[in-house]
Every structure is written in structure tokens, then in C-alpha cells.
A and B are shown apart, each in its own frame.
Chain A
């Protein structure tokens, strides 16, 4: 029996069309747009002004505040303006615009391909390096990684969990990275272990990536304390709480973090970024983005510089097919619909999925038949049908008592509902209202 989380979850068609396509390095575009908000928390403060020349890897914005992250220039060239730019959802964000000139790198960045295994930095230096290099969670949550490496006093971590699950359909960026940069990832894991002062790390990978499992298992033999664990394919196993449950059978309590049950979870892609930052002195300036879709001419996994316009990326993948109905930033279960293809690639963008118009529609809504399928698929054991009704009726106190704020918005309920009911839409509304009301109460 393969490990997995015991109750809830769904298994959407995997559609991993790009699993066999090696990572391709995409050429640098002529202009890039670097949003100041590529992480959870306050936007970074720009350190450059219009007309400044910047080099690749140069710090251009500083993370201020507790949950913020630094941003580095992914290109060399001249800052053309500092203004707002629409992100992929169409929301305006402060951003630095750079016109690309030449290919000048900041000194001290090791651009060689050879593996560096010896970890020279101390625990504290590693955490500092992660902060300086602007490392954030690469799975999409973009939580600044250095914070997760600082264990709050009074808490203990005994196992580091590495998320190589990639449970969203279509996405293969972590899969390819694990295949092509396996050793680098394992060194990255060792670095994270050193920072956290733990002896044990577990890498969880879903069983639809047998090549990655066997590759990393072989490599891990020469790394102390790292083990690879195949997991049964089930969405949303890549969610922190579900992955912790699947691997070490501990339940993170409601409103708490994995550290409260002695674990820290980092993404496999983050481990690679940490390797590059610590061993190669290379800040986070590029990432792997899966560009996929059934009608796409050249789907693939592309290593792209942050700030590259989506249109540039889509052009490289053969252009937007005529039948495209929807473009998604991220996977089809939790990703956000893209309304602006001029928006730049950001640190948390793991994939761009193009859905044909024939599949880009909502189901017709019919009455709830109380089949209880939403209850049985909810990985947090909530009752989505009830939360939707309570929100519809404006019964927010009851919704709060029914733990509406525990919902992580995985979408399994809406995906499953045979009556096509927009359960998650209502739960989101209810959840945000409950949070707003709670804040108002505190302010009074």
C-alpha cells in the first residue's frame, strides 16, 4: 500500500503532457517587468531609479517587513521606468521595467554547471543567504523561505519534508527538475536540513512519476538522512497539511503550521533554488514554467527569467492556439485564470495551462441532491454543501462554527459536485466575510 492522506481528495485526469520533455532554456526577451510583489506579504521597496544600469543578479528591491522577500534583476540593462504593471489577473502592482542590454552578471555568481556538494555555510548563514537571495516557496504559495527556516522558540522540528508531489494536472516543472537536477535538489535538501538542524528529510513524490522516484532514490543513497517516498496519486496531496499527514501521519491542527507538529515543508523546486543561492551564490532570477495544453503546438518545460512576458513564453511554445478559451496561471484545480498575457512570469508561477474553449465552461447548476460527495472528498473534513448554504443565507456565525476558515480552497468539492454547484465560489465568499467580521470585532 502506497502512502497517502486517508480521507478525502479526488483524482482528476492527470494530463501530464510535458512529463517527457526536457527543460529548455528560453532566450531573454528585450524587455522585462519585475513586479515588487512576488511573495506573500508587503511588496519589496525598489532600490533602483529610472535610468540606472543593472546587472544580472543585482539586488533591485529590498524585502521590508516580516513576510517579504528581496528581488534581483534577472537581466542586465537599463531601468526604463518604475511604475505599475498589470499582473496575470489584471491587478496593478508596482513594478520595475528594464530594457535588456547585453549579458552582464554580478561578480561572485558561479555560473558553472559542476555540482558543489560541500556545504560551507553555517546554519545561520544559510538562513541569511536564503533571505538575501529572495528565495520564496516555488510551489506557488511564495511564502518567503527564510521564515520557515527560523524555528520559533519553544518549537522543535524533527523531520524536513520535501514536496515533490506535483498533484495538479498538467504541471511537470518539479518533475523535470527532479529528473534533471536531482543531485542539486538533494544538496539543497541537505542545506535545508543543516539550517533546520534536523537529521532526517523525507521527499514525497506521487507514483505517477516513477522515473523521478527511482532517480532520486538512487541518488539519495549517498546523502545522509534523506529518503524518497512514493505516494498514491491523489489531489490535493501537495497541500502541506495533506503531505505531512501522508508522510508522517501527523495532523496539523486547524489554524496552525507544520512546525506545530515538528515538521517543516519545502518544495522540491525551492530546494533547487536554495542550492543555487547557497552553493552558487545565485539569487532567484529564473524558474521552470510548464507551458501546456491539449492544442498547444510546442508544450514544454521552460527555464525562464523572472519578468519575462507571458506572451514571449507562449510564443516560444508555438503561440496561443486559436481554440483557446482560458489560460490558467498554475494548475487547473487551484490556478488563477489569466486575463492579461502581457503580464510577467513571477517567482510562484509553476505553469501556464491553455484550456480549449470546448473545455472552458462551467457546469449548469442544478439543485443539490444531497449526495454527500462534497463531504466525502473534502480533505479537511468540512461539509461544503452546508458552508455554501450558510453563506447563501448570510449565516456567517454558524459558518465560522462549521470551520469555514479551515478551507484551503483546493476545489475538490466543486470538481466533484454532480449538480455542478459552485461550492467553492460561495465558500470563498463566506470565508472572506467571516475573516472580515472577525477583524471588525477585534477592532471594536
Chain B
């Protein structure tokens, strides 16, 4: 018996699961760094977030949608890890479970599951938690190494909060700079912050992996980081006493985590390179506007969610230049 089907007769063997597992692999260096700085809390938060995301997706698929279970596709695993990475490592278990519920059940499954959600599930979960549990979500453990406690960790402010607070008190940059961590500390992650966002070096290693494995293209991360650098660079050049330098803005807070891992979420980002660049610049600009002029010290999550809302519009109106559209000869 011969099989008959239309071409192509071979497949590249790429799969959703492989792509998702490559994202997980890319996140491992950052996870190691967080355990190294924040100890047992980092492990607890990640485990609770991942398990509850998988469980919620399973329950919805089995008992409400009554569809085949697809939790092994890796997407809920990635959402779980990313949600954990956006949380302080001393956050209580029940809050994580609530965040996972919002991420998976409300932000993902109500829209029809993988591929249909307009907003990044992990970020919806995170922003919900930020608004509902503002104290828990902005109380950051001071990195004390492997011995750092979980719920009893010593807490401190993030670099962005120090900056915002200092400027609010009318201090100038030269006064604030002494309280801020050095770029080297920020590069290695030895600062307060969400457990997965702190170590620039680990996130960049993951970025190289994602590019090497062709999981993502450079367009979104580079445009996010580039637009933040340009915007904050202009502000800094205009008034260096009132504005932090671009390197600080890129290394502080969730810029790298957001640009490399959250803004590049397939489902909620544009399909065409030109649109990707526009989307990335939008994220960068909104982030800086929130950080510099807004009430929150950090704005990456909001910026990505706001730009997520524009993605359907971009997909509808920003088209690739079709082959042969511009006649170059003859």
C-alpha cells in the first residue's frame, strides 16, 4: 500500500514542544543565578508557579473544555517559569497560586488556549498580583546567597525604587548614585528584584541560545533595548542630574527579561519583522515613560501588555514587501 498526499512530503521536525523546551533551556542560567542569590525561596516560587500553571491548564482542558490534554506542549511550563521569574522570591505560596490561576485560566484558557490569547499570560498574572497584593509584590529580598530565607528573608528596595524614591525626595543623581548598585553588580544579578530578572549575564546567555536555536529573531529584543537606550540616553544627556544613564535603565528591573523572553512570546507578538521592530520600540518608549514620568518605578510589564493590544492591528495592516512588488529593473 502506497500513501498518497500532497507535497511537501517531508517535515523539518521542528515542534511546539521543542521550541518551548528551548525557551526553558534558555531560562536555566537565570534560574541558577536566582537560586545562587536567593536560595530556597527561588526554588519554592518556581516550583509552585510551574506546578499550579500545569494543574490549572490540565483541569480546564479535562473538565471544562473536555479537549485532549496538551499540557505536555511546554507552553504552560514556560508560562509558569516566566511568572515565577517576575515575582520576588519571598512571596507566599497562596499568592503564587492565585497569580497562576489568573495567568492560565483567565488570560489563556478563556480565549481558547494556546495560540489564541491576546495578552501574555504570565504578565497578566503578574500585573493582577501587583495590583491585588502590592505589598507582597514590592517587598524584595536582599540577595544573601544560598542561605537566604524564604518568607523570613531580609528585604530591601530595587535599584529602580531607590532611583524613583531619591528623585521624588528631590535628590540629584550624584546624590542617589552612591545608593545604587554598580553596573557590575547589576550585570551579575547581585541586586534586589524579581527572582528571574536580576542577572543580565544569565539572561543574555539565554538570548544567545534562543538566537542560535532560531527560536526567536533579534528584532523584538534589539528594538526594545535599543529604544530604551536611545530614549533614556536623550533624557540623560539633556539633564544628567535628574535622569539615570541608559546602561542603568537597561540593566535595572525587567528590561532584559521582558525584551528577550516576554515581549517575544509568539502568540502575543507580531508576525512580520517590520511590525516586530515597531512593537519593540513601542514597548521601549512606554517603559521609559512609566519609569520616568509615571507612578510606578517599573513599567516593562505594562508596556508589553499595552503593545500586545496593538498586535492584531499590526498584523492586519503591516505587510511584508511581497516578492516582486517593487520593480527594480526593466
In the assembled complex, the Cα of A298 lies from the Cα of B12 at a distance in Å of 27
A241, A359, A371, A383 — most chain B CB neighbours (10 Å): A371
In the assembled complex, the CB of A188 is this many whole angstroms from the nearest CB of chain B, namely 26
In the assembled complex, the CB of B329 is this many whole angstroms from the nearest CB of chain A, namely 4
Given known A372-B271, A381-B320, A406-B322, contact A367–B115 (CB-CB < 8 A): yes
In the assembled complex, the Cα of A154 lies from the Cα of B170 at a distance in Å of 76
Q: With an 8 A cutoff between CB atoms, is A147 at the interface?
A: no
The segment from A69-77, A110-118, A199-207, A251-259 found at the interface with B is A251-259
Q: With an 8 A cutoff between CB atoms, is A45 at the interface?
A: no
Contact status A420-B322, CB under 8 Å: no
In the assembled complex, the CB of B52 is this many whole angstroms from the nearest CB of chain A, namely 22
Q: With an 8 A cutoff between CB atoms, is B324 at the interface?
A: yes
In the assembled complex, the Cα of A415 lies from the Cα of B7 at a distance in Å of 9
Contact status B73-A333, CB under 8 Å: no
In the assembled complex, the CB of B118 is this many whole angstroms from the nearest CB of chain A, namely 11
**Chain B residue with minimal CB distance to A366?**
B16
Among B7, B273, B319, contact of A409 (Cβ-Cβ < 8 Å): B7
In the assembled complex, the CB of A200 is this many whole angstroms from the nearest CB of chain B, namely 15
The segment from A27-35, A48-56, A128-136, A324-332 found at the interface with B is A324-332
In the assembled complex, the CB of A31 is this many whole angstroms from the nearest CB of chain B, namely 22
A-B interface pairs (CB < 8 A), number:
166
In the assembled complex, the CB of A351 is this many whole angstroms from the nearest CB of chain B, namely 12
Contact status B113-A337, CB under 8 Å: no
Which residues of chain A from 337 to 351 have any CB-CB distance to chain B below 8 Å in the complex? Answer: 337-339, 341
Contact status A372-B266, CB under 8 Å: yes
Which residues of chain B from 113 to 140 have any CB-CB distance to chain A below 8 Å in the complex? Answer: 113-116
Give the chain A neighbours of B116 by CB distance below 8 A.
367
Q: With an 8 A cutoff between CB atoms, is A64 at the interface?
A: no
Which residues of chain A from 236 to 283 have any CB-CB distance to chain B below 8 Å in the complex? Answer: 241, 245, 249-254, 256, 260-262
Give the chain A neighbours of B270 by CB distance below 8 A.
372
In this complex, how many residues of chain B approach chain A with their Cβ under 8 Å: the count is: 44
Among B2, B11, B327, contact of A326 (Cβ-Cβ < 8 Å): B2
Contact status A337-B271, CB under 8 Å: no
Q: With an 8 A cutoff between CB atoms, is A380 at the interface?
A: yes
In the assembled complex, the Cα of A362 lies from the Cα of B9 at a distance in Å of 8
Contact status A12-B10, CB under 8 Å: yes
Which residues of chain B from 63 to 92 have any CB-CB distance to chain A below 8 Å in the complex? Answer: 70, 73, 75
Give the chain B neighbours of A372 by CB distance below 8 A.
266, 270-272
Contact status A260-B323, CB under 8 Å: no
Which residues of chain A from 97 to 111 have any CB-CB distance to chain B below 8 Å in the complex? Answer: none
Contact status B323-A380, CB under 8 Å: yes
Contact status B18-A418, CB under 8 Å: yes
Give the chain A neighbours of B324 by CB distance below 8 A.
241, 251-254, 256, 380, 406
In the assembled complex, the Cα of A337 lies from the Cα of B75 at a distance in Å of 35
Give the chain A neighbours of B16 by CB distance below 8 A.
366, 369, 418-419
Complex interface bits, B140-159 against A, C-beta within 8 A gives 1, otherwise 0: 00000000000000000000
In the assembled complex, the CB of B124 is this many whole angstroms from the nearest CB of chain A, namely 17
Complex interface bits, B291-330 against A, C-beta within 8 A gives 1, otherwise 0: 0000000000000000000000001000111111111111
Complex interface bits, B1-19 against A, C-beta within 8 A gives 1, otherwise 0: 0111111111110111011
Given known A261-B330, A262-B330, contact A415–B322 (CB-CB < 8 A): no
Q: With an 8 A cutoff between CB atoms, is B172 at the interface?
A: no
**Chain A residue with minimal CB distance to B5?**
A337
Contact status A381-B321, CB under 8 Å: yes
Interface of B: prevailing SS: loop
Q: With an 8 A cutoff between CB atoms, is B167 at the interface?
A: no
Contact status A366-B70, CB under 8 Å: yes
Give the chain A neighbours of B271 by CB distance below 8 A.
370, 372, 375, 383, 385-386
In the assembled complex, the Cα of A420 lies from the Cα of B16 at a distance in Å of 9
Contact status B7-A261, CB under 8 Å: no
Contact status B5-A381, CB under 8 Å: no
Contact status B323-A411, CB under 8 Å: no
Give the chain A neighbours of B3 by CB distance below 8 A.
325-326, 337, 357, 360-361
Contact status B322-A362, CB under 8 Å: no
Give the chain A neighbours of B266 by CB distance below 8 A.
369-372
Give the chain B neighbours of A181 by CB distance below 8 A.
none
Q: With an 8 A cutoff between CB atoms, is A24 at the interface?
A: no
In the assembled complex, the Cα of A416 lies from the Cα of B15 at a distance in Å of 9
In the assembled complex, the CB of A422 is this many whole angstroms from the nearest CB of chain B, namely 8
In the assembled complex, the Cα of A4 lies from the Cα of B9 at a distance in Å of 24
Which residues of chain A from 374 to 396 have any CB-CB distance to chain B below 8 Å in the complex? Answer: 375-376, 379-383, 385-386
Give the chain B neighbours of A337 by CB distance below 8 A.
2-7, 9
Contact status B10-A169, CB under 8 Å: yes
Contact status B329-A262, CB under 8 Å: yes
In the assembled complex, the CB of B221 is this many whole angstroms from the nearest CB of chain A, namely 15
Among A254, A333, A370, contact of B10 (Cβ-Cβ < 8 Å): A333
Identify 25 residue pairs between A and B in the complex whose beta-carbon atoms are under 8 Å apart, listed by A's number: A241-B323, A241-B324, A250-B328, A251-B328, A260-B330, A324-B2, A328-B7, A335-B7, A337-B3, A362-B5, A363-B11, A369-B16, A369-B114, A370-B115, A372-B266, A375-B271, A379-B323, A381-B323, A382-B322, A402-B319, A414-B8, A415-B10, A418-B16, A420-B15, A424-B6
The 7 A-B pairs at the shortest CB distance, nearest first, are namely A411-B8, A367-B115, A337-B4, A253-B324, A380-B323, A381-B320, A418-B14
Interface of A toward B, CB cutoff 8 Å: 10, 12-13, 169, 241, 245, 249-254, 256, 260-262, 324-328, 332-339, 341, 355, 357, 359-363, 366-373, 375-376, 379-383, 385-386, 402-403, 406, 409, 411-412, 414-420, 424-425, 428
